[in-house]
Structure 1
C-alpha cells in the first residue's frame, strides 16, 4: 500500500523567494478560489454552532497561520481567538512569532500551559518521536480540551491537511478529535497543497515562522522535527 506521506515529502519546504512571487502572480485567481471556499466553510461552521468566538489551534506553523488569517478574513478579528499550547520546550522564535502574527491580525492570543513535569514524563515514557507521540495529547491537546470546555466552546479550527499523512487524508472535514473529546474540529485547509498555503500567506503579506529559514520542516514541540 502506498501511503500519502510517501508520495509527498514530510513537513514544509520553502519556495524559492524570487520564484514564489512569479508563482503568485500566475496563480492569483486559483489562490483566491481556495481562500474564498475556505472562508465560506468557516462562516458556515461559525453559523452552525452558534458560539461567540471561533478558536483556532495555532502552533506557529504555516498551516495554522493560514487558518488563523482565513478566520479573521471570514469572521473579523473580534470573533477569532488564537489558542497556542506552550509545552515549555518550544523554541523562543515560535513564541515570538505567534505573538507577532496575533498582533498583526488583531486577535486575542490565549497561551495554554500543561503544568506537566516534562522531564519526569520522559523518564517514564521515553523520548518523544514520530512513533512515540505521547507528548501531543498530554502537553498540547489536553490543555486545549480543558480550555474549550471551560469556555463552553463546541468547535475549533485546525490546520491539518490531507497531504500530511494517511490518517489526516481520511479524517472528515468536521469531526471529533479523539484526543479532544466533546469538541468538534473543523479543517478549512484540509485539501490545500503546501504550495497554496505558502502562496496564500505571501498574498496576504504574512511572513513564515523564521525557523523554516533555518531548515526546519515542521514547527512545534519538541524542539526539532520529531512531531
Structure 2
C-alpha cells in the first residue's frame, strides 16, 4: 500500500498519540507519522519541514494550541502540498483519539480549501486576506463559475455577476459566489430537488471579473506542488503491467488521465470510456476531441441503459440507482477483458464528493476484479482540477461552461435543481436533448414534481 499523505507532529510523545489514532482509524492507509524532533521555534520547525518536504508528497502538520503562533508563521511560508492544523488542545497528545481523527479530517479538507485574496487576485494557500464568511468543512469544495453559471445567476436574479467567480460549495446546498474577497451572491441548490434554486445577490458588492490566465500564472508554483505530490503518490505504488483509467469525459477523470500519461507514458495507459447510452451530446463530442488531441483511442464500455429504458423499464431514482451498477459492471467487465498481468486502475475520487469516498482508503483492492484501485486526486478541489487542466491547455467539457458543477447522464436522478434549470433554459442544450424520448420522460417527471409542489 501507499499513503496519500503523511502526518508530522512536534515531539515524540505527540507522535506516539497520533500513531495510536492512525492504528485505530486509518487501517490500510499506510500513513506515516514523523516528528520535528521537539523543535520549538517557528524557524527551526520550518527548517525541519523543508528538509522533510524535499521528497514530494502531501504533508499534514498537527500542532497543539500552545504552538498557534508557529502555525501561523508556517502556513504562510509552506507550499500547497503542506497543511498546518492546530488541534484545540494545549498539546497534540492531550487530545483523545477520536478528536485526533476528526482534526485530521479537518486538516485534509484544508488541502482543497486553502484560498485567500492577494493584491493581484485569488491565491492558493493562506498567504493573503481571508475571504468574507469563508469556512472550511468536510464535504466543502471550491470551483470556478464559468460563463453559463454566471448567466444562470443573472437570469434568476436580474443582477450582474463578474466573470469566472470563485464559488465555495458549503453544506446544505449553500454556495457562496465571490467577487474579490467579498460574497456577491448566495445560492441554495438542492440535490434531486423539485424546487428552483434560491438566489440572493448583494447590490453593495461590485461585480469583479476573475482573470483565469492571471490566476493560473500567479498560482503556478503552488499548483505544481500539488501535481508533483500526486505524481509522487502514483510512483510509490510500484510496477504494474496494465494501467487503466476509467474515463467519463468529466474533469476529474480527465485530470487523472493526464497524470497517468505524465507518470507512466501514453503507451502503457489504457483508457476505458464508460458509455451509458444516455450521455450528453457535449460529452460525446468532448471524448472524441480530447482523445484526438492527446493521440489515443479510448476503449468503449457500453452499459446499454438507453436500451433498458427504451424497453419500457422505469427511470432510476435516488433510492434505486440501478444505472450506476450497470455502468460500473460494464467498465469492470471491459477492464477484466483487457487486463494483462498486474493491473492498476486509477480513478478520480475526491474527498469532497461524499462521506463514503472521504473514508475510503486511497489504495484498495477491487472487489469484483483482480486489480488495485488508486485515487491520486483525493486531496484536490474542483478548482485545482480546473486549473490543472487549463495549465496543460486541455479544455473543459462544454457542460462546465454551461454552468454544471458535476457531469453525468442527462437522466441522472442525482442531477441538482441547478443543472435542471440550466438544461431547460439553455436553448442549445435543450434542443440537443428534447428529441430524445428518455430525456422528455425524465424532464417531465422532474418538472411535474416541481409544479406539484408549488
TM-score range, shorter chain: 0.7 to 0.9
Matched, 1:145 2:332: yes
| Structure 2 unmatched ranges of 5 or more | 1-136, 147-163, 166-208, 416-454
Name the CA shift for 1:43/1:58 in 2 (closer, same or farther; >3 Å): same
CA deviation after TM superposition for structure 1 residue 158, in Å: 0.6
| Structure 1 unmatched ranges of 5 or more | none
Partners of 1:77 and 1:60 lie apart in 2 by 17
Aligned to 2:361: 172
Greater radius of gyration (CA)? 2
Superposition misfits of 4+ residues, deviation over 6 angstroms: none
Partners of 1:203 and 1:159 lie apart in 2 by 18
Name the CA shift for 1:150/1:98 in 2 (closer, same or farther; >3 Å): same
Q: Is the 8 A contact 1:94 1:209 kept in 2?
A: yes
State how 1:58-97 maps to structure 2 within 5 Å: 58-97=247-286
Question: Which of 214, 217, 224 is the equivalent residue of 1:32?
Answer: 224
Q: Is the 8 A contact 2:365 2:373 kept in 1?
A: yes
Question: Which of 125, 138, 147 is the equivalent residue of 1:4?
Answer: 138
Q: Which has the higher strand share?
A: 2
Question: Which of 384, 398, 409 is the equivalent residue of 1:196?
Answer: 384
Name the CA shift for 1:121/1:31 in 2 (closer, same or farther; >3 Å): farther
Q: Is the 8 A contact 1:218 1:225 kept in 2?
A: no
CA deviation after TM superposition for structure 1 residue 56, in Å: 0.6
CA deviation after TM superposition for structure 1 residue 168, in Å: 0.9
TM-score, with length taken from structure 1: 0.84
CA deviation after TM superposition for structure 1 residue 166, in Å: 0.8
Matched, 1:206 2:394: yes
SS of aligned partner of 1:108: coil
Q: Is the 8 A contact 1:72 1:105 kept in 2?
A: no
Matched, 1:41 2:233: yes
Aligned residues: 218
TM-score, with length taken from structure 2: 0.44
Partners of 1:186 and 1:8 lie apart in 2 by 21
Name the CA shift for 1:212/1:224 in 2 (closer, same or farther; >3 Å): farther
Q: Which has the higher contact order (CA 8 A, sep 6+)?
A: 1
